[in-house]
Amino acid sequence: MVIDKYKDIRPYSDEEAIAAFNRIARHPLLTQISAFLYPGKKPEELRQLIASIKSVNDFQSKVMLSAITKIIRDTSKTLSYSGVEKLKNGRKNLFISNHRDIMLDSGILQAILYHSGVETSEMAVGDNLITDPLMEDIGRSNKMIKVVRNTNPREFYNSSALLSEYIRSSISAQSSSVWIAQKNGRTKDGIDATEQGLLKMFDMSGSGDFCKDFDDLSIVPVSLSYEFEPCDILKTKELYISRRRKYVKSEGEDLNSILTGIMQFKGNIHFNFCEPLSQGEIKSCSELEKNEKYKSLAELIDSKIVSTYHLWKNNYIAYDLLYSSDKYNDLYTPDERDKFISYVTYKLSDVEGNPKEMEEIFLSVYANPVLSKEKLSE
């Protein structure tokens, strides 16, 4: 008997997914999901569609990707992307991106891959977002890998080792690419930085040869940027509270952030796929002392994400407002500046707290990507 040690964390197989589709189709909440995603259509149409699907790929193309496409169409101006041609050599990759929205970062990435003729990837998602059996069925039928987070140190170590093994085996066996965020949780302050602990997790399943182990993963840094930061006001509130005490999430907060991110207007969106890290780049990191290797590799990934991050006019306006400067005023018009000021005022109008400090935090969320690019060019 073959033991499937990844069974609890890996995406569903087609056979497992068919059983999940039947559970999803019968679930009472599907009526609300249908009304949200497909207003004007009868819930029974969605139930029949899901119950008729026989594979994970069909579920993605007929349900999930159509939902993402609708969200993009309804809540953004444009979606642009670059670098996809680098992925058409057939090799499976480990996509490491900055993380701005709980669901849309990976969802939009899947849509880009699909519409570019590149096989969609599996997606590593924290188990804190899998709040009930319905969410698990939808997620794991959509190529989701479950990342165990809230557990004791021993179990966390074991689950990290298992995740590391699974990701490496998926890519090495050329069975699937994998997407994972560069850090645990979304960037709240606009500063994108790869956690060294993430890279150490990848290395748990390695052979001990730093160069070979990371080259085998074919790491592709991905930068994603939204003209209007998803959940900007929610992030501002969290940062404001965090300056005063340890921030503790309230019940249902993740779901609220997911829904806010989906419904909020995002303006223009851009994704960029970088070249996979080269053997030479990885070798340069490997020549350092142990902990410095991971630090250097994290900085390498960060440099690629930051350098290709698309800055919008909002970012430059926020920088100039925050620092009372005119450094970037040739990149936007007075009217665009006034519109952004009105947006900031509107967003902060019903927020409790010190008004000046709240405004400073809100502006920094938009201004920090500019600072990151400036530091990179120093």
Tens digits of residue pLDDT in 272-305: 999 999 999 999 999 999 889 999 999 999 999 9
User: Is residue 255 predicted with pLDDT exceeding 90?
Assistant: no
Q: What is the pLDDT of residue 109?
A: 98
Backbone torsions φ then ψ of 310, nearest 5 degrees: -85, 115
Q: What is the pLDDT of residue 76?
A: 97
Confidence grade of residue 267 (pLDDT, cut at 50, 70, 90): very high
User: Is residue 233 predicted with pLDDT exceeding 90?
Assistant: yes
pLDDT in tens, 28-49: 999 998 988 888 889 999 999 9
- Residue 181 tokens read as 């965020």
Q: What is the pLDDT of residue 95?
A: 98
Residues of the chain with pLDDT > 70: what percent? 99
Q: What is the pLDDT of residue 252?
A: 85
Q: Which position has the higher pLDDT, 251 or 222?
A: 222
Domain spans of the chain, in order of start: 56-310, 314-377
| Of the candidates 193, 166, 168, the residue with the CA atom closest to the CA atom of residue 94 | 168
pTM assigned to the model: 0.96
Q: What is the pLDDT of residue 129?
A: 85
Q: Is CATH 3.40.1130.10 what the domain over 56-310 is classified as, yes or no? A: yes
| Of the candidates 163, 268, 168, 274, the residue with the CA atom closest to the CA atom of residue 226 | 268
Report the alpha-carbon distance of residue 242 to residue 1 in Å, rounded.
51
Question: Bridge partners of 222?
Answer: 97, 273
Q: Beta strand pairing status for 267-273 and 219-226?
A: antiparallel
Confidence grade of residue 311 (pLDDT, cut at 50, 70, 90): very high
Burial grade of 16 (CB within 10 A; 0-12, 13-18, 19 or more): middle
Q: What is the pLDDT of residue 68?
A: 95
Residues of the chain with pLDDT > 90: what percent? 88
Q: For residue 191, which amino acid is it?
A: I
Confidence grade of residue 1 (pLDDT, cut at 50, 70, 90): very low
- Per the rule left: phi > 0, alpha: psi between -120 and 50, beta: everything else, 117 is left
Could you give the 3-state DSSP secondary structure of residue 276? coil
Question: Bridge partners of 181?
Answer: 97
Q: What is the mean pLDDT of the chain?
A: 95
Mean pLDDT of 97-120: 96
Q: What is the pLDDT of residue 378?
A: 79
Report the alpha-carbon distance of residue 45 to residue 30 in Å, rounded.
11
Mean pLDDT of 188-202: 97
Mean pLDDT of 88-99: 94
Confidence grade of residue 2 (pLDDT, cut at 50, 70, 90): low
Q: What is the pLDDT of residue 146?
A: 95
User: Is residue 265 predicted with pLDDT exceeding 90?
Assistant: yes
CB contact at 8 A, 227 and 267: yes
Mean pLDDT of 122-148: 93
